[in-house]
Copies of this chain bind each other. A is one copy, B any other.
């Protein structure tokens, strides 16, 4: 009962804060764009609001823009709008959205131009909103922003666009804005993964880091070594390569790259279920056998299969938490180490660099967890991106060494840490302690990590959202536009989590820590 009362007071306090901070209800955009100039008027949408692309250099042969526009109409609830506008509606009407894209290419690669400019109404034609972008992916971001300007008025059943007139110029602060999912500790159904991707697009995150395999299970089909997915939990808790291609396709059409990871030489016990010779011995089954050439043949096979499906510039090779004891205690491997004159640290380095080399030979640039940098520093390939997770002083060392870095410090950006609230996610600054402008550029972005030990298809969405969205604003919005005090954004973030709920994403209330549930009756906007 004490707990209940405590929650009540927390709720009451939160409600007060929410009430006091949602004053500018006209501008509930998430993440906040770089620049917004707006009046205080309202436009309205014609029911058959249309897409116009005259003057665009992008032909949209694959329908990415067309589909994005259809999804826009869906999420703004055009189907709920009245067929005929009522007489008493005096708002100027928008007949459609005029999208002008400068680049004819729809290649989605790291660093693709994601900027856009949105004008409601457009400068040329007052009956159209106008969206200009370098690429179709910038345009998709613009569509997301436009969707957040649309409000279905349930009294009139008119979709109102406000505030207008409005000019938004926008582009991300970081090129890499990631979310990790882990399909080894628990299998995630394809529909669940797609739904996570949907919500990433709403939040303008752009990299789905797919931690495919780990010690517990190996769910992905690898055509070159077809017994690897014998390490899956069950016959159905698996992904074919066609499934993987479908995830990549689905994400790409939403402007999201998929970063595939296998984590070697540790975190790989499940590999040996199909190929036991990958284990040092049946009794000592991790890390992968460094002494066996077959280990690297398998890795080469995986990467050659990956290359057909995972088109992102980067592949993630893991490299963290390697406990090398098995190599020493297994006589066969121990003899190999002696022969090569390596101790176990040397062997760890040998393994990591060997795998980097194979990945580079397939045309990938590589990402590794920070232990590889902590141990081998500049001996890593210069094409390495180091993903920080343990030690907050590592990023400055990484960039000082001239390597690129992704920030995922576990004390703030680990979604499986239920004691981290959205405030922790919001306030975590990737560039803290880095002042040199050249070094700053080497921090390519950040990533929130949804490790899978305690989530599956039943609870992953509310564990990710809205906390990942808080980080998404940190990664998207220009530094000077970010709130110094997270309480300043609470009303706007609450609004965004309600928007996610309306769109069918089970984002949790803000009150409380990770995966909190509502603690009393009330409005979505105040919880």
Contacts and interface: CB of A to CB of B under 8 A. Distances in A.
A216 interface: yes
A268 interface: no
A345 interface: no
Interface centre among A153, A186, A238, A497 (most CB of B within 10 A): A186
Interface in A185-237: 185-187, 189-192, 195, 216-217, 221, 233-237
| Copies per assembly | 2
A186 B517 CA distance: 12
A154 interface: yes
Given A501-B458, A508-B458, A522 B233 contact: yes
Interface stretch (A53-61, A105-113, A314-322, A447-455): A447-455
Given A189-B502, A518-B454, A522-B233, A242 B80 contact: yes
Contact of A157 (B234, B242, B519, B523): B242
A507 interface: yes
A487 interface: no
A276 interface: no
A457 interface: yes
Interface in A284-307: none
Interface centre among A151, A236, A498 (most CB of B within 10 A): A236
Contact of A527 (B189, B456, B521): B456
Interface centre among A184, A192, A195 (most CB of B within 10 A): A192
A114 to B, nearest CB: 28
Interface in A50-96: 80
Interface in A421-466: 452-459, 461-462
A126 interface: no
Contacts of A519: 454
B235 A154 contact: yes
Interface size bucket, A side? 35 or more
B154 A234 contact: no
Contacts of A184: 521
B80 A521 contact: no
Nearest to A153: B235
B524 A237 contact: yes
A419 interface: no
Contacts of A216: 521-522
A191 B503 contact: yes
A243 interface: yes
Given A236-B152, A501-B192, A517 B452 contact: no
A507 B190 CA distance: 15
A35 interface: no
A338 B498 CA distance: 49
A458 B240 contact: no
Given A189-B504, A523-B187, A458 B517 contact: yes
Nearest to A214: B521
A31 interface: no
Interface in A167-198: 184-187, 189-192, 195
Nearest to A508: B458
Interface centre among A521, A522, A524 (most CB of B within 10 A): A521
A502 B235 contact: no
13 contacts: A152-B236, A154-B240, A157-B240, A187-B523, A189-B503, A191-B504, A195-B504, A234-B523, A234-B525, A455-B518, A457-B524, A458-B507, A459-B462
